[in-house]
Amino acid sequence: SSLGWSRRLFRTPLGPDKPAYSACDRLLTTPGLLKKSNSRKRNSAGFRMAWRCLVASIVALVASSCQANTNVLRASCLWNESPEKESSVQVDCSRKGLTIVPAGSVWPRNIYKMDLSHNFIDHITHLEPSNVSVLDLHDNRIAIVEPRVFSAFPRLQFLDLSKNSLEVLHGDVFVNMTSLRALNLSGNKLTYPPTELFRPLVSLEQLNLNMNPLRYLRDGLFRLPNLERLELSSINAHSLPDGIFHETPRLVYLDLSGNLFDKVPSSALRSADGLKVLVMSDNPVGTLGYNSFFKLHNIEELYVEKMKDLEAVEGDTFAYQKKMRSLFLGNNPKLKSIDLDIFGVFWRVEPAANWTLREFYLQNNNIEYLDEDVAPWREFEILDLQGNPWVCDCNNAWIRRLPLQKELTVQLRCGGPPAYEHKPMLEVPDEVFACPSLRVEREQSSTFRTGVLVVGALSISAILLSAILLIKRKNLYQRFMSRKNRNGSVYYVKAHTNPVDGFDPSA
């Protein structure tokens, strides 16, 4: 017991043949001894003994209180062995009506995780040291967090402060948290976090800022050399500074969904050249073009879903994603136009082994026609074309020949012609998709080619004839002008000065 520990602290041997016992026991149990000691305050030895006993009693009382508090914590919270770390425990104090964080002195020394979520804690101003690695404080009422308060947890690796009432965080809140690997601040009211806020988090790998009214993100906010995953969904952002990700060289996952981007922030994204997963869903982008994802060569998964204003995907939009394995382009209610060359043109002349895309999701758009030459459709392991108003005619007959998984054909229905609207595409009679016979096509093609050749020949003949006539006309004109110049000339002949023979001037 705690009292026994205090007694052992001051245990005094009385002699070689006598057992040791507590001097406090003697002082407290011998009648008149304490009184005698008090009457002799000038006796320093007795006074020191009394003082030591008093201190021991206080220590015992505090230890007993801590033990009692620990017992209360054990009684009110759920203790379990931690599956993440051997010889450690996790304590679940969620939904206990707590208004403050329990003192660290009552936490078990071998604690790995403390769950304080779903309580009524509204401030964190002081924390006692603990070896805790995971601290869950989500869904409380926390509005105030004092600077450096988490320095009491030097081994903390995961901190969840989501769904609280944080509006402002001091720039020194996370000082000395060099072990922190994941930080969740989503669902708060943060607007202008200090540029230096995250700089102490040199080991941070995951940062979640979803659902904060940040709107404008300043350059230099993410100076995190080990950051791999960044979530910026629903923060009211409509632009990003160029080069904002230059100091996150390991960033591979970025979520920008649910914002106000009317075009893909391609200039900013180019600073994240190692990005593998990009989520751009639920933004008011109207058109995707060749520069939307330009230079994002390492993208493996791309999400552009739930774009309420997206109407067209232009040529070369995905031409630069040579490593992409999954493309999510579904649930865009206005998307009707898919260019023939959205994946570029070079894939058609490259070896089939160079084609990496294996999952293509085009469900629930407004697409009526899709060219068979858009992609090597049989290379896909998952292809979802459901929920589009496909026109069931010759132009889309190729879709019926695809080896689609059965569960991905349930909502593959016709949007026209009217007689087959909403009918399952695979159940519509073959003649509806029948194309003109090959003979007719050849005859039509031959006639067309003949007509083109005839028209071309006549055109060339007319051009040559016109050229010849122009040349001849020019020559005739030159000859005519030359003759006209000769006939119209006046030659001067000098008059004779001698009289003519036989001329009589007197006659």
Whether 177 shows a pLDDT value over 90: the answer reads yes
Whether 13 shows a pLDDT value over 90: the answer reads no
d(CA 345, CA 320): 11
pLDDT band at 449 (very low <50, low <70, confident <90, very high): low
Measured torsion, CA atoms of residues 256, 257, 259, 263, in degrees rounded to the nearest 10: 70
Residues 263-276 have a mean pLDDT of 96
pLDDT given for residue 457 in this prediction: 65
Whether 382 shows a pLDDT value over 80: the answer reads yes
Whether 215 shows a pLDDT value over 60: the answer reads yes
Residues 286-295 have a mean pLDDT of 96
d(CA 221, CA 232): 13
pLDDT given for residue 84 in this prediction: 82
Any bridge partners for residue 182, and if so which?
158, 206
Residues 365-392 have a mean pLDDT of 97
CB atoms within 10 A of CB 443: 12
Q: How many CA atoms lie within 13 A of 84 on its CB side?
A: 11
pLDDT given for residue 20 in this prediction: 41
DSSP one-letter code for 348: G
Considering the chain, what percentage of its residues have pLDDT values greater than 70? 74
pLDDT given for residue 11 in this prediction: 37
Whether 505 shows a pLDDT value over 50: the answer reads no
Whether 21 shows a pLDDT value over 90: the answer reads no
Residues 153-167 have a mean pLDDT of 97
DSSP one-letter code for 270: T
Q: How far is residue 373 from each of residues 293, 343, 401, 425, 454, measured CA to CA in Å? A: 22, 10, 14, 20, 32
pLDDT given for residue 482 in this prediction: 63
d(CA 273, CA 256): 16
pLDDT given for residue 54 in this prediction: 66
Q: How far is residue 474 from each of residues 83, 183, 405, 461, 487, measured CA to CA in Å? A: 101, 88, 75, 20, 21
CB atoms within 10 A of CB 121: 17
pLDDT band at 37 (very low <50, low <70, confident <90, very high): very low
d(CA 230, CA 221): 12
pLDDT band at 51 (very low <50, low <70, confident <90, very high): low
Distance, CA of 94 to chain centre:
31
Whether 456 shows a pLDDT value over 80: the answer reads no
- The region of weakest confidence among 331-345, 361-375, 478-492 is 478-492
pLDDT band at 76 (very low <50, low <70, confident <90, very high): confident
Between 194 and 69, residue with greater pLDDT = 194
Kindly give the interhelix angle for 2-9 and 44-76, rounded to the nearest 10 degrees.
Answer: 150
CB atoms within 10 A of CB 20: 11
d(CA 113, CA 132): 6
Distance, CA of 487 to chain centre:
92
How many residues are recorded in the chain? 507
Whether 47 shows a pLDDT value over 70: the answer reads no
pLDDT tens for residues 101-121? 998 788 899 999 999 999 999
pLDDT tens for residues 395-446? 999 999 999 999 999 999 999 999 999 999 999 999 999 987 644 454 555 5
- SS3 assignment for 420-460: HCCCEHHHCCHHHHCCCCHHHHHHHHHHHHHHHHHHHHHHH
pLDDT given for residue 452 in this prediction: 59
Whether 28 shows a pLDDT value over 50: the answer reads no
Between 63 and 149, residue with greater pLDDT = 149
Cβ–Cβ < 8 Å for 292, 316: no
Phi, psi of 136 (to 5 degrees): -110, 110
pLDDT given for residue 474 in this prediction: 66
pLDDT given for residue 470 in this prediction: 74
Whether 155 shows a pLDDT value over 60: the answer reads yes
Average pLDDT, the chain: 84
Helix or strand (DSSP H, E) at 123 = strand 123-124
Burial annotation 274-294 (CB, 10 A radius, 16+ → b, else e): ebbbbbbbbbebebbbbebbb
pLDDT band at 465 (very low <50, low <70, confident <90, very high): confident
pLDDT given for residue 492 in this prediction: 44
- SS3 assignment for 134-164: EEECCCCCCCEECCCHHHHCCCCCEEECCCC
Sign of CA pseudo-dihedral 188, 193, 199, 200: negative
pLDDT tens for residues 317-354? 999 999 999 999 999 999 999 999 999 999 999 998 89
Q: Dig out the tokens for 32 from the structure.
A: 């008149």
Residues 62-73 have a mean pLDDT of 51
Q: Which amino acid is at 144?
A: I
Q: What is the CA radius of gyration of the chain?
A: 45
3-class DSSP assignment, residue 414: strand
Q: How many CA atoms lie within 13 A of 299 on its CB side?
A: 27
**Domain locations along the chain:** 2-72, 435-461
Whether 315 shows a pLDDT value over 70: the answer reads yes
- The region of weakest confidence among 9-18, 285-294, 368-377, 410-419 is 9-18
Residues 153-168 have a mean pLDDT of 97
Whether 451 shows a pLDDT value over 90: the answer reads no
pLDDT given for residue 73 in this prediction: 72
Between 57 and 307, residue with greater pLDDT = 307
Cβ–Cβ < 8 Å for 174, 148: no
Residue 12 neighbours by CB under 8 Å, 6+ apart: 20, 21, 22, 23
Q: For the whole model, what pTM was predicted? A: 0.74
d(CA 40, CA 43): 5
